Amino acid sequence: MIDYAGAWDEAGVAEFLAEATIPLRLACRTPGSHLWMVSLWFRHRDGRLECATGRDADVVRYLRSDPGVAFEVSTNDPPYRGVRGRGTVEIEPDPEKAVLRDLLERYLGGTDSRLARRLLDEGREEVTLRIDPAKVYSWDFSDRMHDVAREGE
| 79: CATH | 2.30.110.10
Supply the mean pLDDT for the chain: 93
Assess if residue 144 is contained within a domain.
no
Assess if residue 51 is contained within a domain.
yes
Assess if residue 52 is contained within a domain.
yes
Number of folded domains that form the chain: 1
Assess if residue 152 is contained within a domain.
no
Alpha carbon 31 to chain centroid, angstroms:
22
Instruction: Give me the pLDDT at residue 153, please.
Output: 47
Q: What percent of the chain has pLDDT over 70?
A: 94
Q: What is the Cα–Cα distance from 89 to 104, expressed in whole angstroms? A: 21
Assess if residue 74 is contained within a domain.
yes
| Residues 6 or more apart whose Cβ sits within 8 Å of residue 79 | 140, 141, 142, 144, 145, 146, 148, 149
Q: Hey, what amino acid is at 109?
A: G
- On whether the CB atoms of residues 41 and 56 are closer than 8 A, the answer is no
Assess if residue 135 is contained within a domain.
yes
Q: What is the Cα–Cα distance from 89 to 85, expressed in whole angstroms? A: 13
**Tens digits of per-residue pLDDT, 66-121?**
999 999 999 988 888 999 999 999 999 999 999 999 999 999 999 999 999 999 99
Assess if residue 89 is contained within a domain.
yes
Instruction: Give me the pLDDT at residue 111, please.
Output: 95
Q: Hey, what amino acid is at 123?
A: G
Assess if residue 61 is contained within a domain.
yes
| Phi-psi label, residue 50: left if phi above 0, alpha if psi -120 to 50, beta otherwise | beta
**What is the reported pTM?**
0.91
Range of the domain at 14: 3-93+129-139
Average pLDDT over residues 53-70: 97
